[in-house]
Amino acid sequence: MAQEHVESMLKVEEIFEPSKDVIERAWVKDYEKVYKHAKENPETFWGEIAKELEWFEPWKKVLKWEHPWASWFVGARCNITYNCLDRHVKSWRRNKAAVIWVGENGAERIITYDELLRNVNRCANMLFDIGVRKGDRVTIYLPRIPEQIVAMLACARLGAVHSLVYSGFSAAALQSRIHDAEAKVVITADCGYQRAKCIPLKHIVDEAVKYCPSVEKVVVVRRQEPKIKLEPKDIDWHEGMAKASQKFEAVEMDAEDPLFTLYTSGTTGKPKGVMHVHGGYMVGTYITTKWVFDLKDEDIMFCTADPGWVTGHSYIVYGPLLNGATILFAEGAPDYPDPGRWWGLIEKYGVNILYTTPTAIRLLMKYGDDWPQKYDLSSLKILGSVGEPINPEAWLWYRKVTGNKLPIMDTWWQTETGMILVTPLPCMKLKPGSAARPFPGIEPAIVDREGKPLPANEGGFMTIKKPWPAMMKTIYKDPERYSQYWKTIGNVYLAGDMARQDKDGYFFFMGRADDVIKVSGYRLGTAEIESAIVSHYAVAESACIGKPDALKGEIIKAFVILKQGYKPSDFLLDEIKKQVRKELGPIAIPSEVEFTEWLPKTRSGKIMRRVLKAKELGVEPGDVSTLEE
Ligand code: WTA
């Protein structure tokens, strides 16, 4: 499959040069020069950027690197929320809109920086009153409403560690994340809306916390009338906020103190708690938001992600707020009530930057050009893409329907990297389907299994040679799993992606090299889906693969061996899907389930998903010397 992919990519030769006005406006006008400076003097480069932000105490050293452990801004004191809020409230930005929120039903709320700070302070006081202290973990299971942003910032302000769980995950998945984090408090809402359907989040939390003894309180945002009943453990968000003072000084944190954990899927076992810290993450998200999206004070940025995933953390909440921007934050789906939903929001609010996923673009493309053409999209100046490789057709359509002249930033990065690592900057030429070049300060290499760099256009493992500020600090409670990233191939960071670089140094990403699947840009691990399937009473064994899909990028295909005495049936097929929904949530339900009597395994008993995938796609499986007879 990889080879086919390379060949289809190689056919694309179209190159788009940046226009004069784009370069004129851009923060970075000469990429090569900035890249060279950052490469030669990385500590000076990152130090200069960090100085654009405010610190309670400066660092003694920009970077301490003791492979595989990095400490950034050693000895510095800061709090990311001081730079997201206080820094702006002290300035002319005080009454500038920080967040424009639109609900699925058309409700609107505009929150200024001053108001956001006061809300965050109230929330920090409310959390403090119920016993949350510096270092405590708080799980946030909220839909896309302003309270989600307020809750994140309130945790950070008082030094607690937030752990967001995407509200599409089931009670069982939520429970395992609360459990691993040993969260003291869970913040949720009665209801999240998606296509006019209410997802009963509080109900899901009640299920989940039954078996989580660490949870002392559940804070509930009640949106519905009549209001849902509260349990003895519960606190009403609005009542708590009304009682709380609107003053709360940001707690002074060490630059290396944890800011959040975010659970993400890996190759094996349970999701891992990727941990980020206040200092380095702040610097990395600040500068990438500014340079990649050419963010200016007058801009409105619309990132369509959900803060339950890393894109929302870095490019809805922290990056834009660090820059004092205005965020458009929308609840609901891109095509509900109709496929003009996002285009209509862009027209109504005069959005300047749109950052979304290839799956969403392909979905909107399916509805045709008429929808975007109905709206005035002339306010747009930069487009972004993230989460999965964007195919040239979708890239070209995205550009065409938004005026045929806008730069598209295809940004490659990960939960672990915290910030965008490979991307064009607006001043660069663009190749559809390519994420272009490394961000200044980032030194990638595409290598073979032994760590040997590969020549142009040869696909291999994506690695990063040197640390960068927003890199994860560790995996929560599992430093060994963290170390593996830097120890599997040579002494470099192994991303888990396959990529190639063309003769101009442009990167083309080819998908994951491991057992991580990206379904509509959502990151899932085959291991978790398999263990959900195997928890069904009739299932003996299961193996899952990601199968290429024209709309979703990949879909999940599950191979299932039934226990003796059970026969394949539509009933069981349906039951198995329901089991996955229960264990993980609707996003993890396999699109295809195939009953089988055999799975390819190594002699040591490991399932060779690669062989299954090759068979499914009708291609050569590669090295099968370890396959059992
Ligand atoms: C994939 C999402 C190709 C990649 C920010 C990576 C991409 C995984 C791109 C991380 C892109 C992200 N082109 N692939 N522009 N962006 N990916 O942790 O496989 O949810 O390893 O972070 O998404 O997914 P995660």
Ordered by start, the domain boundaries in the chain are 48-56+78-441, 520-617
Q: What is the average per-residue pLDDT within 347-375?
A: 97
Q: What is the average per-residue pLDDT within 203-207?
A: 97
What's residue 8's pLDDT? 53
Whether residue 389 has its Cβ less than 6 Å from ligand 1 = yes
Whether residue 415 has its Cβ less than 6 Å from ligand 1 = yes
Choose which residue among 288, 292, 388, 587 to substitute to test ligand 1 binding: the one with the highest number of ligand atoms within 8 A of its C-beta: 388
Whether residue 497 has its Cβ less than 6 Å from ligand 1 = yes
Whether residue 387 has its Cβ less than 6 Å from ligand 1 = yes
Ligand 1 atom at shortest distance from the alpha carbon of 509: 3
Whether residue 435 has its Cβ less than 6 Å from ligand 1 = yes
Ligand 1 atom at shortest distance from the alpha carbon of 496: 21
Ligand 1 atom at shortest distance from the alpha carbon of 516: 19
Tell me how far the alpha carbon of residue 389 lies from the centroid of ligand 1, in angstroms: 8
Q: What is the average per-residue pLDDT within 1-14?
A: 54
**By alpha-carbon position, which residue is closest to atom 24 of ligand 1?**
414
Whether residue 323 has its Cβ less than 6 Å from ligand 1 = no
Tell me how far the alpha carbon of residue 445 lies from the centroid of ligand 1, in angstroms: 17
Whether residue 520 has its Cβ less than 6 Å from ligand 1 = no
Query: If we measure between CA atoms, which residue out of 507, 347, 537, 543 comes closest to residue 434?
Result: 507
Do residues 69 and 471 lie in contact, with contact meaning Cβ atoms separated by under 8 Å?
no
Token pair in block for residue 239: 């009542």
Tell me how far the alpha carbon of residue 511 lies from the centroid of ligand 1, in angstroms: 8
Whether residue 518 has its Cβ less than 6 Å from ligand 1 = yes
- pLDDT band of residue 99 (cuts 50, 70, 90) is very high
Q: What is the average per-residue pLDDT within 600-627?
A: 88
Query: What pLDDT, in 10s, does the model give residues 460-488?
Result: 999 999 999 999 999 999 999 999 999 99
Query: What pLDDT, in 10s, does the model give residues 429-450?
Result: 999 999 999 999 999 999 999 9
| Domain 520-617 in this protein, CATH class | alpha beta
**By alpha-carbon position, which residue is closest to atom 12 of ligand 1?**
387
- Which CATH number is associated with domain 48-56+78-441? 3.40.50.12780
**By alpha-carbon position, which residue is closest to atom 11 of ligand 1?**
412
Do residues 497 and 509 lie in contact, with contact meaning Cβ atoms separated by under 8 Å?
yes
> What is the rounded CA–CA span in Å between residue 502 and residue 228?
57
What's residue 11's pLDDT? 58
Whether residue 386 has its Cβ less than 6 Å from ligand 1 = yes
Token pair in block for residue 194: 């998606």
Looking at the DSSP bridge assignments, the partners of residue 447 are 453, 461
> What is the rounded CA–CA span in Å between residue 64 and residue 74?
7
Whether residue 523 has its Cβ less than 6 Å from ligand 1 = yes
**By alpha-carbon position, which residue is closest to atom 15 of ligand 1?**
412
Task: Give the CA-trace dihedral at 464, 466, 472, 476, to 10 degrees.
Answer: 90
What's residue 83's pLDDT? 98
Whether residue 408 has its Cβ less than 6 Å from ligand 1 = no
DSSP state of 188: E
- The angle at the Cα of 509, spanning 427 to 484, to the nearest 5 degrees, equals 115
Whether residue 272 has its Cβ less than 6 Å from ligand 1 = no
What's residue 350's pLDDT? 98
What's residue 3's pLDDT? 47
Whether residue 12 has pLDDT greater than 90: no
Cα 375 versus chain centre, distance: 29
Query: What pLDDT, in 10s, does the model give residues 550-583?
Result: 999 999 999 999 999 999 999 999 999 999 999 9
Tell me how far the alpha carbon of residue 518 lies from the centroid of ligand 1, in angstroms: 8
Do residues 500 and 3 lie in contact, with contact meaning Cβ atoms separated by under 8 Å?
no
**By alpha-carbon position, which residue is closest to atom 20 of ligand 1?**
523
Task: Kindly state the greatest CA–CA separation across the chain.
Answer: 72
Residues 6 or more apart from 260 whose CB is under 8 A from it? 152, 155, 156, 161, 162, 163, 164, 275, 276, 313
Whether residue 356 has its Cβ less than 6 Å from ligand 1 = no
- pLDDT band of residue 1 (cuts 50, 70, 90) is very low
**By alpha-carbon position, which residue is closest to atom 5 of ligand 1?**
414
Choose which residue among 509, 526, 552 to substitute to test ligand 1 binding: the one with the highest number of ligand atoms within 8 A of its C-beta: 509
Whether residue 6 has pLDDT greater than 90: no
Total Cβ atoms within 10 A of residue 478: 16
Token pair in block for residue 624: 């099968």
Tell me how far the alpha carbon of residue 262 lies from the centroid of ligand 1, in angstroms: 15
Concatenating the DSSP letter of every residue in 402-446 gives TTS---EEEEB--TTT-S--EE--TTS-B-TT--BEEPTT--EEE
3-state secondary structure 288-350: HHHHHCCCCCCCEEEECCCCCCHHHHHHHHHHHHHCCCEEEEECCCCCCCCCCHHHHHHHHHC
Q: How many CA atoms lie within 13 A of 363 on its CB side?
A: 18
- pLDDT band of residue 217 (cuts 50, 70, 90) is very high
Whether residue 104 has its Cβ less than 6 Å from ligand 1 = no
Token pair in block for residue 334: 């891109």
Q: What is the average per-residue pLDDT within 516-543?
A: 95
Tell me how far the alpha carbon of residue 519 lies from the centroid of ligand 1, in angstroms: 11
How much of the chain, in percent, has pLDDT values that exceed 90? 93
R_g (Cα) of the chain, nearest Å: 24
Mean pLDDT of the chain: 95
Whether residue 496 has its Cβ less than 6 Å from ligand 1 = yes
Whether residue 170 has its Cβ less than 6 Å from ligand 1 = no
**By alpha-carbon position, which residue is closest to atom 10 of ligand 1?**
414
Query: What pLDDT, in 10s, does the model give residues 139-177?
Result: 999 999 999 999 999 999 999 999 999 999 999 999 999
- pLDDT band of residue 629 (cuts 50, 70, 90) is low
Ligand 1 atom at shortest distance from the alpha carbon of 311: 5
> What is the rounded CA–CA span in Å between residue 198 and residue 332?
11
